[in-house]
Chain A
């Protein structure tokens, strides 16, 4: 009589039954053996957390009596939130740097959606589906080459993106303003556009946008070197600056209405005069 081949499900059930039996017969008691290791590790975790808190306090506020001082691992706090100053460079906490950097790779508007939602959603779906895609019983890493290569690639890309995000050059208003005269020369900007150019350099636009090679290139923001060639019009530019997402649904650009209409008009004139290298 031919032997029936067990189905994959029967094999798995048998394997798990064997596991239960082995653990019952040859296993160790959770307390005190495994629990001892858990306790040691937990104490290490708490010690590291306390250590970081001490390092933070004693190198920021400690010697300077000023919580704004950077210290070794960062200040206690930044200056108070001020919706009026837009020159602040937005930065998430370090574990979001990989996302933050991903957004430099994809450009608004065609593909920024891929960076913000597309890649993370796909990653999440892959994670949730993993146990159903990889249904082999084999657990030894040496026999799971595909899984191991995928893991190494994932870790490497996360590490590189996080590193790039951490070291990304920030466009500081004090440095960007020095480029304004060269902008005027290169783009042959009229005198009326100069106040707008100075605002552009200091109001935080360059945290995300680039202009003649200066600026942050964040969040998929487009280069504005020749934005004027699109002839969008002064009133459109003002409306867009006041509320970007009202004009471009879904735009991640913050609102700049707090600058006031007069300054927004200056910015708009500068943008409309920017026709690229002349």
Chain B
């Protein structure tokens, strides 16, 4: 029979601490399963040979989060009317405490976001990661690219300075040259025959509600698919997960042509 010593005071205290820390987590887990969800996300397996290029997707996400946070702060000071917009932009940049930093991050973050979108897309292309079973995620990605560019287009008008105004006049007119939908689209964007206060509030609403809402929904779907399907390993890697390991005789070269390998190469 084992002799059970009474636990020391320190031990008791440690156990009480642990229970106190775990209690809210257990409470949450019991009622939502969220803790298990996060644990699954964090401790899921990914290929052992992932490459630095595969960080570009989450870097794009980070840039988007920067845009969302700085955008919310800008919206507290920005006034979307032709009369006040320019002055409110001057006020944010030159007077509000750290306003220049918030606006600067939003303005330049937009370019960084667009660059990262293209780099991430390039990496997916290079890896052939748009192939079965990830076709749908590629399509979601292309839609994200389009929405990202639209976000840039609508945001450009908001400072209501000469650059903004004339780029948008021409941009909207160009949309109008499209067949069928073009004139209707131009009319919708302007909110009338001329660029006016209506155009500005329309662009503002598109820029800070509708398009970001779409982007957030699509990012959620995108990440769901990334987690469900897993990320590819670099196609050139020796470890390449999913690669078919077939012992086949060295291909016999016949002149310039080479016989096709069995089973259509690697995945």
Binding site for B on A (CB under 8 A): 6, 8, 11-12, 15-16, 18-20, 22-24, 26-31, 33-35, 37-38, 40-42, 44-46, 48-50, 52-54, 56-57, 61, 67, 73, 76-83, 85, 88-96, 103, 112-113, 116-117, 124, 127-128, 130-132, 134-144, 147, 151, 155, 219, 245, 249-255
**A88–B267 CB distance below 8 A:** no
Chain B positions within 8 Å of A, measured between CB atoms, are 41-48, 50, 52, 54-56, 58-59, 62-63, 66, 82, 86, 89-90, 93-94, 100-101, 103-105, 107-112, 114-116, 122, 125-135, 138-139, 142, 145-146, 149, 152-153, 156, 159-167, 169-171, 173-179, 182-183, 194-195, 230, 232, 235-236, 239, 241-244, 263-267
Q: A57-B101, A140-B236, A151-B125 are in contact. Are A117 and B152 (CB under 8 A)?
A: no
User: Which of B133, B173, B179, B243 lies in contact with A12, CB distance below 8 A?
Assistant: B133
Among residues of B, the one whose C-beta sits closest to the C-beta of A8 is B264
B239 to chain A, nearest CB (A): 7
- Selected contact of A117 from candidates B56, B134, B178, CB within 8 Å: B178
- Do B242 and A252 touch (CB < 8 A)? no
Number of A-B contacts (CB under 8 A): 292
A77 to B182, CA, bound (A): 30
Query: A83 to B195, Cβ gap below 8 A?
Result: yes
Minimum distance in angstroms from B104 CB to a CB of chain A:
3
How far does the Cβ of B93 sit from chain A's closest Cβ, in whole Å?
Answer: 5
Residues of B within 8 A of A141 (CB): 126, 128, 235-236
Let me know if A18 and B47 touch, CB within 8 A.
no
If A34-B50, A144-B128, A250-B182 touch, does A131 touch B94 (CB 8 Å cutoff)?
no
Most chain-B Cβ atoms within 10 A of its Cβ — which of A8, A44, A81, A131? A81
Apart from A8-B264, A22-B47, A73-B108: 7 A-B pairs, beta carbons within 8 A: A15-B242, A46-B66, A52-B108, A96-B171, A131-B134, A135-B132, A250-B182
Residue pair A16, B59 in contact (C-beta under 8 Å): no
Q: Does the CB pair B264–A45 fall under 8 Å?
A: no
The residue in chain B whose Cβ has the minimal distance to the Cβ of A140 is: B235
Which residue of the partner chain, among B45, B149, B244, contacts A30 with CB atoms under 8 Å?
A: B45
Contact B128 A80 (CB under 8 A): no
Q: CA of A250 to CA of B183 in the docked complex: distance in angstroms?
A: 7
